[in-house]
Amino acid sequence: MKKDKVKIGIYELTGCAGDALLILDCEKELIDIFSAADIQSFAMAKSDNIDGPLDIALVEGSVTTEREIEEIKDIRQRAKIVVAIGLCATVGGIQGRYKPHSVWEADYKSVYGETEMTHTKPIQSQPIDAYIEVDYYLPGCPIGKDQFLNFFTRMLGGNPPEKYPQPVCVSCKHNENDCLLTKGEFCLGPLTADGCGAICINHNLPCVGCWGPIEGANYTSEYHLLKEKGFDPEFIKKKLANFSGTKIGKLIESIEKERP
């Protein structure tokens, strides 16, 4: 008996749609992707989308409106496996940059004033796991082609994805780049998930951390190292927070507690 194809839905919440675009950009593999799986929903690629039961939902983007809370809950309810893809879905992205709620409210007011939103109510941006349980995370800004194809093919075969918990420094060294951090530049390679192949440092630009923080990242040591190299503590905290999403809030607070 021939097995039914795995039913997959690809969804975009708030973000730049770069992850969905990257999947479409797998041009050589696109026919294989669409033949190997039953792509039920993929708004960027097709119009005949069905919102039914799914084996796997791939979700990019952060949750930024009340309507998106409903949307992500609906996806969770329909899908056996939910995967957060890309920086925004995994940690919150730039729009989910860590800041206390009161600061967010004040920022919101200064941009939109008292304008009433009719479509849906905006909320402080959060990664999708702030609202639902997530089975797997595929980081990236956008996600990497090789990691995505590896992940996708494993999932189709019913295998769990392989995690890549290594910092950018690993690829960076393998490419024999000069360590920018050692040279006194503001490089976030040791804190950031690899998968980009150290592309910025390959071009002599420091890592800004756009793939999001790696589990177990040593923020305290990096913070003090950058401070010793002459960077201003406030500047360091701002830069650390840029791509690290909401989850590093506690870490930043702990750094502040350590060094008032």
Partner 1 sequence: MRIVKLHKSNLMSFLEEISQESELWAPVKKYEDKHIFKNIEDFDQIDLDYTRTILPPKKLLFPPSFRMYEATPKKFHADFSHISKKTLFGVHPCDIHGLLIMEQFFKQSYEDPYFSEARKNLTIIGHSCWPDEHCLCRSTQTHIVEEGYDLFFTDLDKNYLVWIGSSHGDDLIQLKPDIFDEDVTEKDIQQFMRWREERDKAFQSEIQFEAMPDLMELKLGDSVWEELGEACLACGSCTSVCPTCNCYNVRDNPVLGKEASDITRCWDACTLENYSAVAGGENFREKKSDRLKLWYTHKLQAFISKYGKPACVGCGRCVATCPVDINIKTVAQSLQGEKVDAFWRRLNQEVTQ
Stretch that binds partner 1, among 59-67, 98-106, 114-122, 153-161 (CB under 8 A): 153-161
> How near is the Cβ of 152 to partner 1 at its closest, in Å?
7
> How near is the Cβ of 56 to partner 1 at its closest, in Å?
15
150 is an interface residue for partner 1 by CB under 8 A: yes
Whether the Cβ atoms of residue 207 and residue 201 lie closer than 8 Å to each other: yes
Q: Which is nearer to partner 1, 77 or 182 (CB)?
A: 182
Cα gap 148→164, rounded to integer Å: 12
Q: What H or E segment, with its residue span, contains residue 109? A: helix 101-112
Indicate which single residue of 45, 94, 149, 208 sits in contact with partner 1 (rule: CB under 8 A): 149
Cα gap 241→97, rounded to integer Å: 6
Q: Which 3 state secondary structure label does DSSP give 138? A: strand
161 is an interface residue for partner 1 by CB under 8 A: no
Binding residues among 93-132 for partner 1 as defined by CB under 8 A: none
> How near is the Cβ of 79 to partner 1 at its closest, in Å?
21
Stretch that binds partner 1, among 49-57, 76-84, 158-166, 243-251 (CB under 8 A): 158-166
Q: Which is nearer to partner 1, 86 or 167 (CB)?
A: 167
Q: Which is nearer to partner 1, 123 or 170 (CB)?
A: 170
- E strand segments, the chain: 6-12, 37-42, 54-60, 63-65, 79-85, 122-126, 136-138
> How near is the Cβ of 136 to partner 1 at its closest, in Å?
14
Angle subtended at Cα 181 by Cα 169 and Cα 223, rounded to the nearest 5 degrees: 100
Find, among 139, 143, 238, 247, the residue nearest to 188 by Cα: 238
Q: Tokens 């392989």 — which residue? A: 162
Binding residues among 240-259 for partner 1 as defined by CB under 8 A: 258
Other C-beta atoms lying within 10 Å of the C-beta of residue 178: 10
Whether the Cβ atoms of residue 108 and residue 64 lie closer than 8 Å to each other: no
Cα gap 196→199, rounded to integer Å: 6
> How near is the Cβ of 134 to partner 1 at its closest, in Å?
17
Binding residues among 16-55 for partner 1 as defined by CB under 8 A: 29, 32-33, 35-36
Angle subtended at Cα 99 by Cα 96 and Cα 100, rounded to the nearest 5 degrees: 125
Please give the single-letter amino acid code of residue 119: H
167 is an interface residue for partner 1 by CB under 8 A: yes
Q: Which residues bind partner 1 (CB under 8 A)?
A: 29, 32-33, 35-36, 149-150, 152-154, 156-157, 159, 162-163, 165-167, 169-170, 173-174, 176-179, 181-182, 189-191, 215-216, 218, 220-222, 224-225, 228, 258
